[in-house]
A and B are shown apart, each in its own frame.
Chain A
Amino acid sequence: MYRETSILNDSSPVSPAGDDGAGNITINVGPQHPATHGVLHLVITLNGETIKKVEPHLGYIHRSIEKMCESLTYRQFIYVTSRMDYLSSHINNHACALCVEKGLQVEVPPRAQVIRVLMDELTRIASHELWWGAMAMDLGAFTPFFHAFRERESINDIMEETCGARLTMNYMVPGGVMQDLHPDFQKRVKEFLHLYKRKIHEYDELITGNIIFQNRMKGIGYLSPEDAISYGCSGPVARGSGVSSDIRKIYPYEIYNKLEFDEVLETAGDSFARYMIRLREMQQSIRIIEQLIDNIPDGDFQAKTKAVLKLPKGEFYQRVETARGELGVYIVSEGGTTPYRIKFRSPGFSNLSVLDHIARGSKLGDLVAMMGTLDLVIPDIDR
C-alpha cells in the first residue's frame, strides 16, 4: 500500500541548524545541481539574499589521476589525462606530449606540429561553444544550447573521422600524433568554417545584444587585475580583468609564434567581460585555422621514438593554454619508464578559488551568472 511521506505535513522548521541567530542561513547547492556542469557542491552562507560566503566542496569525481600516473609509462599516462578536462582533451594530451618530448629532446615533424595546432584550435572552439550554450541555459535561455551544439557537433564529427573518438581523443602522443589525418579532413574543416561564419552572427542576435542578458551580466562578479593574479587565475578569467596571460603568446610552444592572432583582452573585469572574451576568442581560433588549413606540410606525422620511453633524471614543466586557462604538467623523473611524481596544475582549480571572493556581497540570483563565466569543468578541478 502506498504511504505518503510526512515531510510536507511536518510542522518542524525545515532546517533548524541553518540559522545561526544573526540571520545567516546556510544552504547547499549541489552536489548534483544542473547548473554546476559537474558534481560540484557549494555551501553558501546567506543573509537574506546576500551572499556572505561560498565554500566549494570538491572530490565527488576525484580519481587520483596523479597517483595513477605514477605507475603508468610515459606512453600510457597520456590516455588518462583526456579524462581530466574532457572538453579540451586534445590540449591536455598536447601538454603531456610536449612535456615528455622536452625530456626526451625529440624534434616533432612540421606536419605533426600543424596538425596539433589545428586540433587544439578546433577543440578550443568546441569547448567555448559548449560553455556558451550551457551559460545561456544557466540564465534561463534554452535555445542557444541547440545553436551551440549544432556547430559543436560538426567539430566532433571532424574529430571522430581522424581520431576515432568524439570526446576523449588520445590523439597526441610523444613525437607527434597517433595517425595521419583523414583524407576528408581539409574539406570537412572548410565546410565547418563556412557554416560557422554564416551562423556566428546569430550568437550576438540571440544573446549578446539582449538587454535582459546584459543587465544580468554587467557589473557583477567584479575581479580586479591584482586579485586575478594573486588568485592564480588564467585564461579568459584573467584576461577579462585585463591581465595578459595567454601562454600561446607569452611562452609560445609549437608554431604559435609564427601565427597571426591577437590576445583578446577586456578591462571591465565583470561577468560580461569574461563572456565577451570567449566569444572573441573563437574568432581568433578561426583565424588560426584559416592560416593553417591550406598549408599543412607533407611529411611524417610522427617522429621516430623508442618503443619504451625513458626520461632522464630531472624535472620537466610544460605549460599550455587550454580553453580554460593555463594547464601545467610537472614531471619529476628518476630516470625510469614511469614518472616518479606528476602534478597537473589545472586552470579550473585556481579559477574556482576566486568564486568566494567575487561572489561575496552579491545576490544569490547572480551566483549562477558568475559561476557560468568561470567556465568550470569539475573533472579538471578534481583530477
Chain B
Amino acid sequence: MLNEELKNKITGLLPTATFEEGGEWLNVIVEPKDWLPFARQLRNDSSLFFDYLFCLTCADWKTHLTMVYHLSSTTHRHNIVIKAKLDRNKPEIETVSHIWRTAEFHEREVYEMFGVHFLNHPDLRLLILPDGWEGKNPLRKDFEDPVNMIKL
C-alpha cells in the first residue's frame, strides 16, 4: 500500500492517530494507551500485515521520550513508523514482545538505556549494562558519568 492509502486505512482504524509529514515512510503518532490494541491490528489485519518489526528504539527530547517502532510487511512490502510520546519522569508503555518476539531484546535495551518501563514484559532486566546500573540511563541527554565518559 502507498503512504496515502495507509493513512486512510489507519485513520479508519484509530481516529485519534495523528500523522507527521515529510519522511520517507508514513509516521503515525499514537497515544501510549492505544498502542497495544493498535499494534495487534497492524499485525493481524490482512491488508496491513506488518509482521516484521525491524527497528525499535527511543529518543530523548528533554521534555519527553519518544518510542519509535519501524514496521515492515514481508508480504505487501510496505513500511510504517509508529511513534508514541512518553512522560519523561514516568515513562511507561505496554510491551509488544508477544506480538513481535524480537521486541523482547530491543525493549530490554531501551529499558536500560532510556529507563522506559515496558508493562507486562516477560523478562525486563538489564541486557547490556552490568549490574548496579539500574536507574542511570546512559542514552538520556542529561546522563553524566565523570569516570567512564570522555567528552568529545
Given contacts A64-B138, A382-B128, contact A328 B102 (CB under 8 A): no
Q: Which residue of A lies closest to B59 (CB)?
A: A341
Q: How far is the CB of A122 from chain B (nearest CB, A)?
A: 26
User: Does B1 touch A at the CB level, under 8 Å?
Assistant: no
Choose from B23, B53, B77 the contact partner of A314 (Cβ within 8 Å): B23
A71 and B70 contacting across the interface, CB-CB below 8 Å: no
List chain A residues, Cβ under 8 A from B129.
Answer: 59, 62
- A314 to chain B: which residues have CB within 8 Å? 22-23
Chain B nearest Cβ from A343, distance in angstroms: 4
* 0 or 1 for each of A231-262: is its CB under 8 Å from B? (1 = yes): 11010000000011100001000000000000
| Interface residues contributed by chain B, number (CB under 8 Å) | 33
- Select the stretch in A81-89, A123-131, A266-274, A345-353 that faces chain B: A345-353
Task: Evaluate contact between B55 and A67: CB separation under 8 angstroms.
Answer: no
Number of A-B contacts (CB under 8 A): 82
Within 8 A of A (CB), among B105-131: 105-106, 109, 127-130
- On chain B, the residues within 8 Å of A357 by CB distance are 101
Q: Name B100's contact: one of A72, A232, A341, A349 (CB within 8 Å).
A: A232
A315 within 8 A of B: yes
Q: Is B92 an interface residue (CB 8 A)?
A: no
Residues from chain A with Cβ under 8 Å of B104 in the complex: 353
Q: Is the interface of B mostly helix, strand, loop or mixed?
A: loop
- Besides the known contacts A231-B101, A350-B105, 10 further A-B residue pairs in the complex with CB atoms under 8 A apart: A66-B139, A72-B152, A229-B52, A230-B102, A232-B101, A234-B54, A243-B74, A315-B27, A326-B54, A382-B128
List 9 contacting pairs A-B, 8 Å CB cutoff, sorted by A: A59-B127, A71-B151, A72-B152, A229-B52, A232-B54, A245-B74, A319-B54, A343-B55, A382-B128
Measured CB to CB, the residues of A under 8 A from B are 58-59, 62, 64, 66-68, 71-72, 102, 227, 229-232, 234, 243-245, 250, 314-317, 319, 326, 328, 330, 332, 340-341, 343, 345, 349-350, 352-353, 357, 382
B residues lining the A interface (CB < 8 Å) = 22-25, 27, 51-55, 57, 59-60, 68, 70, 74, 77, 81, 100-102, 104-106, 109, 127-130, 138-139, 151-152
